[in-house]
Amino acid sequence: MPTSSKPEQRQWSRARLSYRVRLRPSQPTVEEFDEVLSTENSCRSGCYFTAVNHLYKKHLRLFVTFPYSAALGAINRDYIGEVVRVDDLPNGRVGVAVNLLTTIGLSSPSQLATHASDPSMMLADR
């Protein structure tokens, strides 16, 4: 890995922990995607993952569920994130660095199913 003379810009140090993340574009794009991937490393304000999807571009805004679990009763935290770097990697993969901008809220798979099937719950949330 090449060294850089640029000063460190991270506020939080990275941890080489693998977490599952769910990623979707937050704005309409030509090709929609909804991926669940594992991070290579992460910190409080972002994460880095590899993907075969070449739709990730710098400044792309994403809905990021971090960490993500589809297990019944799991509580997932949703964020708005922005792609800050895309690295070309061997074997046609890309490395993607995402900065988490703001929290959207907490959600659980069972909570989403309840709200989607009961219209009165949607009105109660407003």
Q: Please state the φ and ψ torsions of residue 71, each to the nearest 5 degrees.
A: -65, 145
Q: How many domains does the chain have?
A: 1
pLDDT score at 44:
85
pLDDT score at 9:
54
Inside any domain, residue 37: yes
Inside any domain, residue 10: no
Beta bridge partners of 36: 22
Per-residue HEC secondary structure of 5-55 comes to: CCCCCCCCCCECCCCEEEEEECCCCCCCCCEEEEEEEEECCEEEEEECCCC
Question: Does pLDDT of 2 surpass 70?
Answer: no
Average pLDDT, the chain: 80
Inside any domain, residue 14: no
Question: Does pLDDT of 92 surpass 70?
Answer: yes
- pTM, full prediction: 0.72
Inside any domain, residue 6: no
Inside any domain, residue 55: yes
Inside any domain, residue 42: yes
Q: What CATH number should be reported for the domain holding residue 29?
A: 2.30.110
pLDDT score at 99:
96
Inside any domain, residue 11: no
Q: Which domain holds residue 56?
A: 20-124
pLDDT score at 14:
65
More confident: 110 or 4: 110
pLDDT score at 17:
81
Question: Does pLDDT of 3 surpass 50?
Answer: no
pLDDT in tens, 8-64: 455 555 677 889 999 999 988 778 899 999 999 998 889 999 999 999 999 999 999
Locate the DSSP E strands across 44-93: 46-51, 61-65, 76-88
Inside any domain, residue 4: no
